[in-house]
Amino acid sequence: MRIGELAERAGTTTRTLRYYEDRGLLPARRTGNGYRSYDEDDLRLLREIRVLQDFGFELEETRPFVDCLRAGHPAGDACPASLAVYRRKLAELDGLIGKLADVRDQVARQLGAAEEAAGEAATPRCETTAPATTTD
């Protein structure tokens, strides 16, 4: 299949496919007249890349999965290098979750303090909560 058909079937653009080709993730096979030529295995590679990127993997992090598929394995995560990328990504995500939990705790403390202060203070009204005045 040609590049336009592959792009359509993969749900991407020809520009993206050329970029993947430049990065060595997609093979650069050419027909006799110079057109790029792809097959179902290339579509499978692209789907693997897309799923991983949807999970938050950087493009370069998809390389071991692509290499694993190219080596003839039934799945891109059947190789030790792919498993290592999964482990690194999980560690990264765990770190981000920890940071988000810390931020959430800080925001909750600030909210609690603000609500307590608002309950103790005389009840001045904020501009956004003051009743609208009408003019006759």
Please report, in tens digits, the pLDDT of each residue of the chain (136 residues total). 999 999 999 999 999 999 999 999 998 889 889 888 999 999 999 999 999 999 999 999 999 999 999 999 999 999 999 999 999 999 999 999 999 999 999 999 999 999 988 887 655 566 665 566 666 5
Q: How far apart are the first and last CA of the chain?
A: 74
**Which helix (H) or strand (E) element contains residue 20?**
helix 14-22
- Report helix, strand or coil for 16: helix
**pLDDT for residue 44:** 93
List domains and CATH numbers for the chain.
Answer: 3-115 (1.10.1660.10)
φ/ψ (deg, to 5) at 44: -60, -40
Judge whether 13 and 21 are in contact, CB under 8 Å: no
**pLDDT for residue 122:** 54
At 36, list the tokens: 């790029």
Q: Which pTM was predicted?
A: 0.74
**pLDDT for residue 133:** 62
**pLDDT for residue 127:** 65
